[in-house]
Structure formats: structure tokens, C-alpha cells
Amino acid sequence: RQAGVPDKFHIRTTEVNSIGEAISALRIVKKLDPYGPNCRYMLEPWIVQLALSRLGDRQLSVEDQQQVYANTRTPHKVDWPDWWVIKRG
């Protein structure tokens, strides 16, 4: 047995019936106002940062930047690339 590796692993399963439940279970998004008429999902900053790091030399259009920024839960926590032109937090 390797040091730091448990003898048994416990796998947690979650039944999901929608994409919203799936991305919530993965903690990619935060569900805002879950019981109200204006329920919406906001991207967690870590997933935005990961997606930006995978762009390589590609850049998002200004319109796409606006969408990403507006739908990020805490945009001030994202390390936006130098080419990013939308307001930074």
C-alpha cells in the first residue's frame, strides 16, 4: 500500500435529471435564487479560469467576453488575460 492512499474508496453517486443538476453537482456553477421565478446559474471563477487557460493563442470576441464576464459569479477572482477588454473586477 502506498502512503497517503486509503484502503477503500467511497464513490458518491448522484442521480441527475437535467443538465442544471449535473453542472451543479460538479460545482461548475452556482444556482442563484433556486426557488424564485428568476432562477439562473452563474459560472464559478475556477471553471472560467480553466477555460481561459485552454484557449492558447485564441481570443474571444468582445461579445463573447461580455457573456463570460456577465455570467461569472465572482469575476474579480478571475485572472483575466491581457487581451481581455471587458471591465475587470
Give pTM, 2 decimals: 0.70
Tell me, yes or no, whether 2 lies in a domain.
no
CB 75 within 8 A of CB 46: no
Tell me, yes or no, whether 14 lies in a domain.
no
Q: In terms of residue numbers, what domain contains 34? A: 19-77
Mean pLDDT of 4-30: 68
Tell me, yes or no, whether 87 lies in a domain.
no
Kindly report, residue by residue over 33-80, the tens digit of the pLDDT.
878 888 888 999 999 999 999 999 999 999 999 999 999 999 999 999
CB 43 within 8 A of CB 71: yes
Tell me, yes or no, whether 10 lies in a domain.
no
Tell me, yes or no, whether 65 lies in a domain.
yes
pLDDT at 39: 81
Total of domains in the chain? 1
pLDDT at 66: 96
pLDDT at 72: 95
- Phi/psi class of residue 62: alpha, beta or left (left: φ > 0; alpha: ψ in -120 to 50)? alpha
